[in-house]
Structure formats: structure tokens, C-alpha cells
């Protein structure tokens, strides 16, 4: 695939993967992107996952058309990109491997390779001239591993952005598709490191960027402000949408029914954007994305073994690990003989930053009755003005 006359796509599509990083469902697959820059010197930008080895090596052979690669630039060592470093080193013994001071110790951990005389270590702001093209390297620690770096090609003004601006899916070219799946990708995988992403965005703001080539998903060529704005919102933990997510963890359906009634109460009070999410039937990665999307969340949970129904406990654990913050989170519990979910949810939320828990917390005894329905009405009233 041609990106520009001298920059070509050599990555691999993976349409059959069940779980990316062994945890995220990818119904539309994922791509492992890699690029070749053709110039007086040739550079391959990253390798691909083991699942794409044959396709990638074949793509490189075709694009190079008899030439040998001079450089392999390693922007990120995670195996969805770095898995083929040893194969590349063996296939192209003249090529120099380009990384930073944190890259090469990781290569030694993953592979038993002798790279003596074959490495080029770059630093913040360092450049590598290929002829007409010059790569400028910017360190991007924790976006998404410590050794991550991005490369800005100065002539064509292209940012090779590593995991940043990546997304799940092999068909995520439209902005709307991109923003859903890129948000799920970003918030679940890189979400913990908002401060580090902000630092990278500051560096990017000083560059004239005409195109972004990430390591997953489509190359971004138009309306780059849209994508940069999304990253600004996500990395600063701000909500994207005024609205309420009601996340339900219901065993037999009574808690879910209460979530539905609360949604109707909110809509009846003029709340335009209300979504009920059944955590028992939804992968937690989608729940995390939605919790970050809205400014207010209601957690409605059945009591289980004196604590939380497991999918709610998992949901909150994920939110905590992704640095969830700056939200209003209301609580609804159900319990037939000893309701304890509100106490447990409150305990988990107290360890997160800037979480406001409005009153009342609502207790349902088995199924909604007149008293608990009234309490839900009261909570709806509080939420629409929160």
C-alpha cells in the first residue's frame, strides 16, 4: 500500500485474532503496522506480531524489490510489534537496528542475539538522515512502554506515532469507527498514563504534522485536529459526553430492571443521553470506554457473598487501574437479606481521584417497591442537576 511515493505500508492484517493482548475482544481484527521508507538509504519502521510474520516479510521483499534494508527502527518493543526482530536481523545481516537506550536491553531480554556493531542508539531530538528523508526521534516513555519513541519525518511531515493514535479493527477508516475503537484501545491499554500522553502531545504540538502513521489501524491523513482533540480529552480524563451511564451487575434481573426504571426517570427529567449497560453480558473493555465517555455513572449492583457481584468488582478494578477520575458516580445496591454492595463500591471508589458520590445511595430489597422506587426518583433528581 502506498502512503506516499517513497513511504509504503508493509504491515499485516489479523482478522482472526480472538483476544488482543489475550484480553480485548477484536471482532473486526487488528492490524500490526509497519512501513518502509525508500530513499538513498532504506528504513523499515518496526516489525509485526508473530501472527503476521509471513505477510510482513513478503511485503518487505516486494517493496524493496531487490534492495536491502539499511535500518530497522524499533519504536516499541511490545511483541505485537517487536516479535520479528530476530527474524529480521537474521534475514538482513547488514541492517542496523535503531533504538534508544531502553530499547536494546529489552531486545536482549526477548532474544538471544549478537548485535555488536549493528546498533544505532538515538536520543531525544536525535536525527537519522536517509537522503531526502530525515527522521527525528522523540521519546514517548509509557506510551505505552518505557522504551517507546516516535519518529517525525521532517520532509514529508509524517509522525510515526507508535501505539499512539492506534486502534483496533481492520476497517476503522471512518472517523466515527475510529473514535469508538481507538477510545477502547487507548483507555484500556494506555489510559493509566495520561500524564505521559500529555507530554507527548506537547511535543507533537511543536511539529507541523501532515500525516500520522500509527502501529495499529488506519494512517490518518485528514482533519488531524479531530484525532489530536480526542487524545487531548482522553489523556486529561475529561468526559466526552454530558450524559449518564447506568452500569448494572444483576443476577436474576431485578437490579437490571431497576437500572431500566432509573434510565426512564432520568429521561423523564430531560436527560438526553442515558445508557444502560449490562455488565454481565458485556466485555469489561467496552464498559471502561463508556465509563470514561460520560460525565456521570450509576453503579447498580447485586450483593454477592457479602460483597460485589464479580463483574462489578472487575469493572471497578479496571477503572481503578486505568486512573479513572473526575466523575460523579452514584450507587444502587440490591440485597435480599444483607445488602453490602454500596459499602463495597464506596470502598473501591474512595481510592480513585476526584470521584463525587451523590446521595442518596439506594438500597433495593430483592425487587423495587414503593420505598426504593421513591429513593430512585430522588437519585434521578439529584443526578440531572449534578
Nearest to 161 by CA among 46, 39, 323: 46
Q: Assess whether the previous peptide bond of 360 is cis (omega < 30° from 0).
A: yes
**Contact status: 80 vs ligand FEO (CB under 6 A):** yes
Residue 76 binds to ligand FEO (criterion: CB under 6 A): yes
- If binding means CB under 6 A, how many residues of this protein chain bind ligand FEO? 8
Minimal distance, residue 137 CB to ligand FEO, in Å: 18
How far apart, in whole angstroms, are the C-alpha atoms of residue 147 and residue 77?
7
Nearest approach, Cβ of residue 215 and ligand FEO (Å): 5
Q: What angle do CA 126, 132, 136 make, to 5 degrees?
A: 20
Stretch that binds ligand FEO, among 76-84, 94-102, 315-323, 347-355 (CB under 6 A): 76-84
Nearer to ligand FEO among residue 133 and residue 144 (C-beta) = 144
Q: C-beta of 81: minimal distance to ligand FEO in Å? A: 6
Which of these segments, 72-80, 87-95, 195-203, 281-289, binds ligand FEO (CB under 6 A)?
Answer: 72-80
DSSP for 144-181 reads SSTT-EEEEETTTTEEE-TTTT--S-SS--SHHHHHHH
Report if residue 289 touches ligand FEO, rule: CB under 6 A. Answer: no
Interface with ligand FEO, residue 78, by CB under 6 A: yes
CB of 150 or CB of 342, closer to ligand FEO: 150
Binding-residue pattern over the window 92 to 111 for ligand FEO, x denoting contact by CB under 6 A: --------------------
Residue of closest CB approach to ligand FEO: 78
Site string for ligand FEO, 159-188 (x = CB under 6 A): ----x-------------------------
Secondary structure element (H or E) that encloses residue 121, with its range: strand 119-121
| Residues 129-158 close enough to bind ligand FEO by CB under 6 A | 144
Instruction: Name the maximum alpha-carbon separation found in the chain.
Output: 78
The answer to whether 37 and 64 are in contact (CB under 8 A) is no
Length of the chain, in residues: 386
Provide DSSP, 255-307: HHHHHHHHHHHHHHTT---EEEEEGGGS-HHHHHHHHHHEEEEEEEEEEETTE
Contacting positions for ligand FEO (CB under 6 A): 76, 78, 80-81, 144, 163, 215-216
Amino acid at each position: 500500500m502506498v502512503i506516499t511515493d517513497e513511504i509504503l505500508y508493509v504491515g499485516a492484517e489479523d482478522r482472526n485474532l480472538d483476544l488482543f493482548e489475550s484480553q480485548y475482544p477484536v471482532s473486526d481484527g487488528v492490524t500490526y503496522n509497519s512501513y518502509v521508507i525508500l530513499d538513498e538509504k532504506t528504513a523499515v519502521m518496526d516489525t509485526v506480531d508473530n501472527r503476521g510474520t509471513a505477510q510482513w516479510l513478503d511485503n518487505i521483499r516486494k517493496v524493496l524489490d531487490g534492495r536491502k534494508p539499511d535500518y530497522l527502527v524499533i519504536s516499541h518493543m511490545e511483541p505485537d510489534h517487536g516479535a520479528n526482530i530476530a527474524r529480521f536481523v537474521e534475514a538482513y545481516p547488514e541492517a542496523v537496528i535503531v533504538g534508544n537506550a531502553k530499547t536494546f536491553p529489552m531486545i536482549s531480554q526477548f532474544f538471544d542475539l549478537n548485535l555488536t556493531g549493528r546498533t544505532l542508539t538515538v536520543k531525544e531530538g536525535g536525527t537519522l538522515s536517509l537522503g531526502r528523508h530525515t527522521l527525528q526521534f522523540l521519546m514517548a516513555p509509557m506510551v505505552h512502554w518505557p522504551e517507546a519513541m516516535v519518529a517525525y519525518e521532517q520532509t514529508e511531515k509524517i509522525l510515526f506515532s507508535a501505539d499512539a493514535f492506534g486502534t483496533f479493527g481492520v476497517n476503522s477508516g471512518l472517523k466515527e469507527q475510529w473514535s469508538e475503537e481507538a477510545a477502547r484501545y487507548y483507555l484500556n491499554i494506555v489510559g493509566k498514563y495520561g500524564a505521559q500522553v500529555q507530554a507527548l502531545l506537547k511535543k507533537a504540538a511543536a511539529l507541523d504534522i501532515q500525516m500520522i502513521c500509527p502501529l495499529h489501524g488506519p494512517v490518518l491523513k485528514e482533519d488531524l485536529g479531530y484525532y489530536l482533540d480526542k487524545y487531548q480529552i482522553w489523556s486529561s480524563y475529561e468526559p466526552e459526553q454530558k450524559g449518564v451511564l447506568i452500569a448494572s451487575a444483576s443476577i436474576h434481573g431485578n437490579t437490571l430492571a431497576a437500572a431500566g426504571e432509573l434510565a426512564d426517570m432520568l429521561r423523564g427529567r430531560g436527560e438526553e443521553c442515558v445508557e444502560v449497560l449490562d455488565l454481565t453480558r458485556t466485555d469489561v473493555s467496552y464498559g471502561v470506554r463508556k465509563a470514561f465517555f460520560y460525565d456521570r455513572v450509576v453503579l447498580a449492583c447485586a450483593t454477592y457473598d457479602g460483597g460485589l457481584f464479580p463483574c462489578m468488582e472487575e469493572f471497578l478494578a479496571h477503572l481503578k487501574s486505568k486512573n479513572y477520575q473526575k466523575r460523579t458516580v452514584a450507587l444502587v445496591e440490591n440485597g435480599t437479606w444483607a445488602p453490602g454492595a454500596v459499602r463495597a463500591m464506596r470502598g473501591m471508589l474512595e481510592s480513585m481521584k476526584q470521584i463525587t458520590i451523590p446521595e442518596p445511595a439506594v438500597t433495593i430489597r430483592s425487587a423495587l417497591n414503593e420505598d426504593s422506587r421513591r429513593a430512585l426518583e430522588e437519585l434521578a433528581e439529584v443526578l440531572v442537576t449534578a
